[in-house]
Amino acid sequence: MIKPRVSGVLFFSLGIAFLAVPLSAQSGKIRIIQTNAAGDNVHIIDPTTNEVVDVILGIPIPHGVTSHPDGSTLYFSNEVDHTLDVVPTATLRVSAQIPLTGRPNNISITPDGRKVYVAITGSDAFVDVIDTRKQRRIRRIPTLGGVHNVYVTPDGKYVVAGMIGARTLTVIDTDTDRPVWSLHFDGGVRPMAFEQNPDGSTKRIFVQISNYHGFYVVDFEKRVVVQKVAMPELPLTQQDNDGLQGSPGHGLAVSPDGTQLWSTSKPNDHVYAWSLPDLEYLGGVPVGHHPDWLTMTPDSRYLYSANAGSNNVSVIDTRAMKEIARITVGQVPKRNHTAVIR
């Protein structure tokens, strides 16, 4: 087993620490929602069979995806039309397009389902705030640069905006929609995931940074980077560095039961796991070409890796630490999300 390097320093679909619930005990149907970054469709996977059961059409270059907590609606950021597209789960057809400030990237929803936050990238330095009941933008929050990812913390108190060009993470209060603190990095801020305290508040943020093959660990209360964790390095002859886009690690997930942290590795075509809270390395699993995003089932048993370079999704059994299925989807699958729909 190759062990990663860990060095101490003085930093979202986003982990929620609650008791694991079996798939069969969930109310509603669990679905893995898989966007395709070079297409105009979205694939829906049934995790009980690991088959594609539906396809949503007519969303060109879908970037971010989230779902209403009541299971009634899916939301997608549309990079071509610069809209937030609304898709009722009853029809799986776009019912509305909400205009945005500019070209959107990732999105995130509050636990009560009242607001969706949309990252606006490029020269438009904003986070758009969407009222889901009124289906319109109600404000835009200025940032230091174009925003790539936004994540609402598990307790719903904050939304965290990550910027690539500005190399900044900004924490925004969801009650006031005002920034409360920021942290600057030595590279662009990429995907994130959260670890919770016993009371549900945010304990740590795990952050992937441009050109770093690993992740940074941020103490949320102290507002500082406390650790850097490097992923295993394979021999150069086994690495795949084609089209990494400056982000060798681009996908993080904290298991819903709060016991594991998973990360993608593009150059290694692997996903890797660490235990929580001690960050002990657990091992890696080979997957498809250029794994680019992660989501998990609510019982923490299965991990879904979107493999952007091979147009498929790997299904990982997190107990057995092995790939159990590979599902063909659309062109360049990236952001994915686990939804419980009605």
Query: What are the residues facing 55 on neighbouring strands?
Result: 43
Convert the pLDDT of each residue in 160-180 to its tens digit: 999 999 999 999 999 999 999
| 300 lies in some domain | no
| 323 lies in some domain | no
Q: Which amino acid is at 272?
A: Y
Position 232 scores a pLDDT of: 94
Query: What are the residues facing 218 on neighbouring strands?
Result: 205, 225
Convert the pLDDT of each residue in 185-208 to its tens digit: 999 999 999 999 999 999 999 999
Tell me what percent of the residues of the chain surpass a pLDDT of 70: 90
Position 237 scores a pLDDT of: 66
Query: What's the mean pLDDT in 301-313?
Result: 97
Residue range(s) defining the domain that contains residue 152: 6-250
| Cα-to-chain-centroid distance, residue 242 | 22
Position 20 scores a pLDDT of: 39
Position 27 scores a pLDDT of: 64
pLDDT confidence bin for 24, thresholds 50/70/90:
very low
Q: What is the CATH number of the domain that holds 115?
A: 2.130.10.10
| 190 lies in some domain | yes
Cα separation, 49 vs 58, whole angstroms: 26
pLDDT confidence bin for 76, thresholds 50/70/90:
very high
Question: What is the average pLDDT value for the chain, to the nearest integer?
Answer: 92
Convert the pLDDT of each residue in 59-70 to its tens digit: 999 999 999 999
Cα separation, 137 vs 321, whole angstroms: 43
pLDDT confidence bin for 246, thresholds 50/70/90:
confident
| 182 lies in some domain | yes
Residue 107 has pLDDT above 90, yes or no: yes
| 85 lies in some domain | yes
Residue 85 has pLDDT above 50, yes or no: yes
Residue 21 has pLDDT above 60, yes or no: no
- Shortest CA distance to 211 belongs to which of 161, 250, 160, 254? 250
| 161 lies in some domain | yes
Decide the pairing of beta strands 312-317 and 260-265.
Answer: unpaired
Q: Tokens 């979205």 appear where?
A: 42
Query: What's the mean pLDDT in 214-237?
Result: 93
| 275 lies in some domain | no
Is the preceding omega at residue 88 within 30 degrees of 0, hence cis? Answer: no
Total number of domains constituting the chain = 1
Convert the pLDDT of each residue in 110-144 to its tens digit: 999 999 999 999 888 999 999 999 999 999 999 99
Position 243 scores a pLDDT of: 61
| 176 lies in some domain | yes
- Shortest CA distance to 97 belongs to which of 108, 110, 83? 83
